[in-house]
Amino acid sequence: MPAPKFIKLKGRNPYSEQVQGKANEPITIAALLDRAKKELDVKFKKPTLGDIWDRLEMNAPRVAIVSGSSDHPAHVMDDVTRLRCAVEVWNQGGVPFSFGIPVLCDGTAQSTLGMSYSLASRNLISDMVVNQMEAQSYHSAIVLSGCDKSPFGVLNGLVNLDLTRLNRGDHPLHASFI
């Protein structure tokens, strides 16, 4: 079966000459896909580290799966959906990554000083998204929505990042919300 074809991205490939990222990232991706293979009832050919390295070298779309964090009940990561997304990104020729965003729960903060931080947390979420997306050079995002605080903060971060990338001549940032 031939390898899936993927879109060619315009702009620079920050990993074209970056050895360290290509040394570390295949391990992370392999662990994510290995967990998906073990926990889900899906069939796909588990990639080798060489397969993953090749996709990174060819600048295949680097897709971040953004979810809640595992540290608070209102924002628990949806592991099944996250892992299914990772498999589908791989099957479509992309390179899946995953990160969680901790979010303040105003439900548990009500009637306490903690409510003073509720709205401000959206700006922090936005900054965290930009930080992760830029630091890891992700091309696009699949966002798994959590509570009412996270989608706006994530969307704000993605819009700011898209404008920044377009201003410097990079490819546009694509995102889907689930």
Answer whether residue 3 is part of any domain: no
Q: What is the pLDDT of residue 90?
A: 96
CATH number of the domain at 46, please.
Answer: 3.40.50
Q: What is the pLDDT of residue 120?
A: 84
Residue 98's DSSP bridge partners are 65
Residues 161, 165, 168: CA angle, nearest 5 degrees:
145
Q: What is the pLDDT of residue 75?
A: 63
Answer whether residue 74 is part of any domain: yes
Query: Residue 96 is part of which domain span?
Result: 19-177
Q: What is the pLDDT of residue 159?
A: 96
pLDDT under 50: residue ranges of the chain: 1
Q: What is the pLDDT of residue 24?
A: 81
Answer whether residue 13 is part of any domain: no
**How many domains is the chain partitioned into structurally?**
1
Answer whether residue 120 is part of any domain: yes
8 Å CB contact between 174 and 140: yes
Q: What is the pLDDT of residue 20?
A: 62
Tokens of 103: 């979010």
Q: What is the pLDDT of residue 13?
A: 60
Answer whether residue 1 is part of any domain: no
Residues 118, 122, 126: CA angle, nearest 5 degrees:
160
- Burial, 51: exposed, middle or buried (Cβ in 10 Å; 0-12, 13-18, 19+)? middle
Answer whether residue 6 is part of any domain: no
Answer whether residue 11 is part of any domain: no
Answer whether residue 12 is part of any domain: no
Q: What is the pLDDT of residue 129?
A: 95
Q: What is the pLDDT of residue 56?
A: 87
Question: Within 10 A of 58 (CB to CB), how many other CB atoms are there?
Answer: 14
